Amino acid sequence: MKQFFKFFTASCLGVFAAIALMGLFFVGFLGSMAGNKPIVPKNTVLELNFSSFIPEKSGNVESSPMSFEQVDKIGLNSIVALLEYAATDDKVKGILIKGGGVNAGQATVASIREALLKFKESGKFVYSYADFYSQSGYFLGSVADSVFLNPNGMVDVKGFATMIPFFKNAMDKVGVKMNVFYAGNFKSATEPFRRTEMSEPNKIQTREFLTSMVDQYKDLVSASRNMSSDELDQIMTDYKGRDAKSSLEAGLVDKIVYWDEVESTLRRELEIKADKKIKLKSLSDYNAAVTLPKGSKAKEKIAIVYAEGTISYGTDTKGSISEAKYLKILEKIKNDDDIKAMVLRVNSGGGSSITSDIIWRAIENIKAAGKPVVASFGDYAASGGYYIAAGADTIVSAPNCLTGSIGVFMMFPNLTELMNDKLGINFDEVKTHPMAVGLSTTKDLNDFEKELLQKGTDDIYEQFLSRVGQGRGMTRDEVHEVAQGRVWTGTKALDLGLVDVIGGIDDAIKLAGEMAGIEDFKTKEYPTIKETFLDQVVKGISETNNVQASLGINIDKSDLEMVRQYREVKNLILDRTPQARLPFILKVD
């Protein structure tokens, strides 16, 4: 009986703890819902910090409930619109870019950078301050009127590089062999599983697109800092941003200061007293406080479809592209008589080849309905990301977008040695036909099975070439010449005929209107982001208190990044379908 009461009491305590935890959730949620709409006070300074991931469309990103991060992350298009609005808002006196890192690709950073340059045309100030600047952080911060750096900081401009882990030796040691099938000499996504170092073709393509990207970086940064591109190149070579003093001497920053000195500068700019609090407002808070102009009231519309994230089969998660979700969207656009054209905004390194082809077909049906389609490329539009856009009437690309990678691969693990020799597990079989068991990871592939998989890979590659040729007006051999899995920047893709125009999403929207023959139109964005009740709860918690700290949970952003990387590798290994996928996700620190 004593044991009964002991376990009963423990169970009750567990229930009470769970109820208390849920109570904490709802207190945060209700607290956020009860508050009034925030306001923008006079003499506001917008504080920009882009350390969190920036999606293309606001909220279109999968979030973990245990991370307690804001679920309504502002998308690139909204960031640009908010900065444009702030330039005309009398209550906003200027902008402070704070924090030396940006969690986004180079095309995204360049778009925000361009928006800040337009903001400066209003005559309002833009300052930048960081304890230390990453290369992407400095790419953004260099646009400021004055760039400030902590006395113990650095500006980590050192050129672009990529480092790739190779798993073959480790897999050999544990008894796992990866059967690899690919089409295209430059399709390097499988190299970590079949080689111990980069192949020469892979090194050639990587060096070429890194050089192209760093050249664009140098051109833009040097123009903002009033130095030549060659001078910035030498600064990178000599690593002159290694400390604050060298950064100042090299002209990378304007002043070495502590945060309180930046505050003093802001007070002088705002003409307020030393004891007055500076009214800093984050972009999220500003977004919640203002109502952006709705634009045209025209009946005619242009649909903007954001295709961002990995292309997957059968999923329906935010921040991913699947036929399950996008077929409904594209069918709706085709049948809506008020929608006269479509812009496909792509920011994807690819994924499932079958999903890519299904979406390609749906876009062809939209074109057949008489509606022009313009593709707009962001950070990535590679492999499957290029596939879905290949049939667009016009392709507009950011200059530093990574695109192309027209190739296919398939991987199939062989666990025979791991099972038999390492774990002592054996398999036997009885079958009526040669393929009755199917392809199994617990036995070696025979020659027929290997031939089958290679032929399937080659067939899909030929289909990919055909889709591109049909869309770009090129022969099969002309496409093959620039394909083979090779990655290009948007600028080089223009020379090769893979894209038509260098520009951003606004250029694509304008082109779509011209092609549809309409001057007055409004835009309709897809996919529609539906906020779940759990999203609202997490949002309420994150807005009212630091629940991670109060619950003793410590989930760092680097932890979440490791989880994302783990998912990428896991999906790459376990997905046994043909893949049209970029071999990497390039992140410039």
Residues that are catalytic: 187, 383
Cβ 75 vs Cβ 318: under 8 Å = no
Cβ 205 vs Cβ 114: under 8 Å = no
DSSP reduced 3-state for 304: strand
Task: Judge residue 434's burial from the number of C-beta atoms within 10 Å of its C-beta, 0-12 exposed, 13-18 middle, 19 or more buried.
Answer: exposed
Residues 6+ apart with CB under 8 A from 176: 413, 414, 415, 417, 418
Distance CA 72, CA 60 (A): 8
Q: Beta strands 501-502 and 311-312: pairing type?
A: unpaired
Torsion of CA 175, 176, 177, 180, to 10 degrees: -170
Per-residue three-class SS string for 335-394 = HCCCEEEEEEEEEECEEEHHHHHHHHHHHHHHHHCCCCEEEEEEEEEECHHHHCCCCCCE
Tell me if the bond preceding 55 is cis, omega within 30° of 0: no
Instruction: Match 């400390």 to its residue by tokens.
Output: 243
Cβ 577 vs Cβ 457: under 8 Å = no
Cβ 526 vs Cβ 336: under 8 Å = no
**DSSP string computed for 273-290:** -TTSPPEEEEHHHHHHH-
Strand partners for 512: none
Angle, helices 76-86/106-120, rounded to nearest 10 degrees: 10
Select from 77, 117, 74 the least CA-distant residue to 97.
Answer: 117
DSSP reduced 3-state for 160: coil
536: tokens are: 């609202």
175: tokens are: 């008894």
Select from 402, 311, 394, 404 the least CA-distant residue to 356.
Answer: 311
Strand partners for 39: none
Please give the C-alpha separations between residue 33 and each of 27, 283, 415, in angstroms, as whole numbers.
10, 19, 53
Residues 6+ apart with CB under 8 A from 576: 410, 411, 412, 439
